[in-house]
Amino acid sequence: MPSLRTLAFQSWFRISRPVTLGVRAAVENETGHVFMVRHTYVPGWYMPGGGVERGEPAVEALRRELIEEAGVRLLQPPQAISLYSNHHSFRNDHVMLYRVPWGSWEPVAATSVGEIAETAWVDPHAPFDGITKGSLLRFDELYRGAPLSPYWSART
């Protein structure tokens, strides 16, 4: 269950932005593991990313979020995978997924303070408990050949 702070923030977003867009990235290391973050304000493990600001291109939002949350600076353009509906959890929300293969990024100091509780490199073929359903579905699509879904998480 989201915190009161998260619910209030989401309510404000629904009023101020009738359509929202977020970005996430499957950042891969040399062994094929994917970088994951655990935020301080919501439960579960997620691929790094966040909201696209008004007037900001999605890929620029991804560049910003990867430095903030993951300490990853893109050296090459990321591969756009798909745009997903996230309406089941937030009406009129969408998520753009990118793939960032090993060799297309470099490590830098993460700039987010207080937002990230923990980070981990996860084997997408053997994920641990706590990874969000949406992330697990993306692992199936990216690494096990499942067809792309139009929905970020299971349709309800």
Strand partners, 67: none
Please, how many CA atoms are within 13 Å of residue 36, restricted to the half-sphere of its CB? Answer: 24
Task: Look at residue 115 and tell me if it is in a domain.
Answer: yes
Cα radius of gyration rounded to whole Å, the chain: 15
Any alpha helices (H) in 54-132, and if so which ranges?
58-65
Q: Residues 71-82: pLDDT tens digits?
A: 999 999 999 999
Task: Look at residue 135 and tell me if it is in a domain.
Answer: yes
> How many domains does one find in the chain?
1
- Over residues 30-49, the mean pLDDT reads 97
For residue 99, the domain's CATH number is 3.90.79.10
Residue range(s) defining the domain that contains residue 98: 20-143
Q: What is the pLDDT of residue 52?
A: 96
Task: Look at residue 153 and tell me if it is in a domain.
Answer: no
Q: What is the pLDDT of residue 19?
A: 79
Among 17-21, 92-96, 110-114, 122-126, the least confident range? 17-21
Task: Look at residue 151 and tell me if it is in a domain.
Answer: no
Task: Look at residue 9 and tell me if it is in a domain.
Answer: no
Task: Please name the residue that has the structure tokens 């499942």.
Answer: 146
How crowded is residue 82: how many other Cβ atoms within 10 Å of its Cβ? Answer: 14
Task: Look at residue 11 and tell me if it is in a domain.
Answer: no
Strands (E), 28-92: 34-39, 45-46, 49-51, 72-74, 79-85
Task: Look at residue 96 and tell me if it is in a domain.
Answer: yes
Reading phi first (left if > 0) and then psi (alpha if -120 to 50, else beta), residue 105 is in beta
Residue 7 clears pLDDT 80, i.e. is over it: no
Task: Look at residue 112 and tell me if it is in a domain.
Answer: yes
Residue 156 clears pLDDT 90, i.e. is over it: no
